[in-house]
Amino acid sequence: MKSSNNLQGKVAFVQGGSRGIGAAIVKRLASDGAAVAFTYVSSEAQSQLLVDEVISQGGQAIAIKADSTEPEAIRRAIRETKAHFGRLDIVVNNAGTLIWDSIENLTLEDWERTINTNVRSVFVASQEAALHMNDGGRIINIGSTNAERIPFVGGAIYGMSKSALVGLAKGLARDLGPRAITVNNIQPGPVDTDMNPDNGDSSEPIKAMGALGRFGKAEEIASFVAFIAGPEAGYITGASLMIDGGFSA
């Protein structure tokens, strides 16, 4: 595993790291020198393969089963990360759910699940992290370009949940600024994953909406996260940073 060593000696916790963008973030942070703990809900075998891959290339990683809709599970996972690796420097909140339907069809249960996963889990993880994180740490939320633009019918509650992270990051940046802990949102556009493949049924109209005319790669999102987690990004906080190929332009 080729390492830039920018994060050597750091410990990262990735909430929702077993697949897609989350797995790419785990691998990139590990390749940059961080020891990484990440959570999963049901994909135990896939998570172990990711751990094995990181370790085989000289990195450190552990997988922790924790449902992001359960606040105590999130808190326990962060405490376990600190206990295992001895410190905590970086938290990446990547867990999320996508419920996309017209307002006439959405239920209160849809709303609650979206808020609990996309917003409450970020608050709980950030609150617990603040109790254990070293000064100078990083909290990074994976938001969405849909906080800025909803181009299709059905995105009301998803867009609302990602917009909530914008205000949360600003407030937490103020709260934690005296400790030099930065809090930022990364807002990806369409990204090629198994849940949203670039050859899917709606991929061509989506590509046409972006200035670059393509889906992003999970590794591109991960590289941006690694930069924000690193020492050169210490003056960036309270920001919502777009990486969407011009989708919102």
Structure confidence by residue, pLDDT tens digits, 54-108: 999 999 999 999 999 999 999 999 999 999 999 999 999 999 999 999 999 999 9
Query: Which residues 6+ apart lie within 8 Å of 58 measured at CB?
Result: 1, 3
- The Cα–Cα gap between 132 and 64 comes to 17
Catalytic residue among 38, 85, 158, 224: 158
pTM, entire model: 0.95
The one-letter amino acid code at 116 reads N
Q: Residue 200 — very low, low, confident or very high, per pLDDT cuts 50/70/90?
A: confident
The yes-or-no verdict on residue 195 having pLDDT over 90 is no
The yes-or-no verdict on residue 3 having pLDDT over 80 is no
Query: Quick check: 54 and 28 in contact, CB under 8 A?
Result: no
Q: Is 158 a catalytic residue?
A: yes
Say which CATH architecture domain 11-242 belongs to: 3-Layer(aba) Sandwich (3.40)
Task: Encode pLDDT of 170-181 as tens digits.
Answer: 999 999 999 999
Could you tell me the end-to-end alpha-carbon distance of the chain, in angstroms, rounded to an integer?
36
Task: Tell me which residue has tokens 């206990």.
Answer: 83
Query: Quick check: 114 and 104 in contact, CB under 8 A?
Result: no
9: Cα within 13 Å, side-chain hemisphere: 4
Buried b (16+ CB within 10 A) or exposed e, 22-47: bbbbbbbbbbbbbbbbbbbbeeeeeb
Locate 230 and state its tokens: 């690193």
